[in-house]
Each structure stands twice: as structure tokens, then as C-alpha cells.
Structure 1
């Protein structure tokens, strides 16, 4: 199958929609500042261990001056997973304790 085949595109769309994808073991980025660049379904993704020891993932945009887009990322059982499905993204839950009431 070549990337131009209809079947190949259908398989990629099915895998993309399936949700979480295994990237690598968390030991691949052991120290703060370490990163790992992967291509997932044709999209460049960088996995970074931040200074606070959290592991985060970002979609690298190809257009000039495009800021990296956060991608849902989880570390489970020492393995890094990402989810590119935009329909499933809830990156930040609203903090209702700091919400200011509207004035009438």
C-alpha cells in the first residue's frame, strides 16, 4: 500500500480516531529539558520533560511563526501516550474558584 491508496488513508484515519497512541517509554526523556521528536500520522510531535518534571506534548506547526499546539499527553505505567483527536481535548478545565462574577 502506498500513502496515495484509498485503503491506506482509511486505515490512517481509523488509527487517528482511535485515540491514545503509544510514543515511547518515559525513560527516553529522563531529565528536565530532554525532548523527543516523533512523526505521528504525518504530523511532527515533540514530547518534552518540562522543568517541573511533567511530560508534555506539542504539535509542531509548519507555518511560519506558528506556536506549538499542546497535545493531550499522559504517562501511564512508565509509557508516554498522546491523543491527537481534537474532539477529545479538554486540556484545561475551568477553575470555578477563581472565576469572577459578572456585574449586572
Structure 2
């Protein structure tokens, strides 16, 4: 059951929760800690924190739609539906690991 819920896009918070470059927000999604941050280019990115010793943060797909931040923890390639008209704001997808 948890795998089914985990495989989609999940609402994290409003984009105003990380308004400036360098701001970050830590949330727990299905028991996994996820950090959402805004980088110098004003793109919002998300990273899954590894619990292993010396584990590097793993990029997670992240998107902003209608002023809301969504993340997808699944490794398969799910896409968020594109709006008909371009929206003000940025959308960034973190690179997938091989």
C-alpha cells in the first residue's frame, strides 16, 4: 500500500516557504527525510537524505505548479501534467542517478 502511494507526486508546501536563494525546508515524506532548497539560480530542488554513514543526498524529482512544491520519490519516470499556459516561476527536475 505504501509503495502505491509513494509512487506519485506529493504536495510539500507553498513555493513561498523557500522564497530566497539559500533557503531550505526539511520535511518527512513516507518516513524519509527530504530537504527542499532554492539554489542561486532561483530553481527549487529536492534531495532525499541518506541514513547510511557518509551517504550523499540523493536528488529527487521536484516541480512547482500553481505556486505549490511537489516531489516524486519514485525512481520510475512519472511526469507532472504540463499546464496549458506558462506559469510564472521555475520548474526544475533534479538529475536522475543511474
Same fold (TM > 0.5): yes
Name the structure 1 match of 2:62: 73
Paired residue total: 82
Verify: 1:45 aligned to 2:41, yes or no.
Answer: no
Q: Within 5 Å, which residues of 2 pair with 1:13-52? A: 13-17=3-7, 19-52=8-41
1:92 is displaced (CA, Å) by 4.3
Find the partner of 1:56 among 40, 45, 64.
Answer: 45
Structure of higher CA gyration radius:
1
Q: Partners of 2:39 and 2:23 in 1: how far apart?
A: 8
1:87 is displaced (CA, Å) by 1.2
Q: Which structure has more RCO (C-alpha within 8 Å, separation ≥ 6)?
A: 2
Give the conservation status (yes or no) of the 8 Å contact 2:59–2:95.
Answer: no
Q: Secondary structure at the match of 1:86?
A: coil
Name the structure 1 match of 2:88: none
1:60 is displaced (CA, Å) by 0.3
Q: Partners of 1:91 and 1:27 in 2: how far apart?
A: 20
Across the aligned residues of Structure 1 and Structure 2, the Cα RMSD in angstroms comes to: 1.8
Structure 1 unaligned spans of 5+: 1-9, 94-104
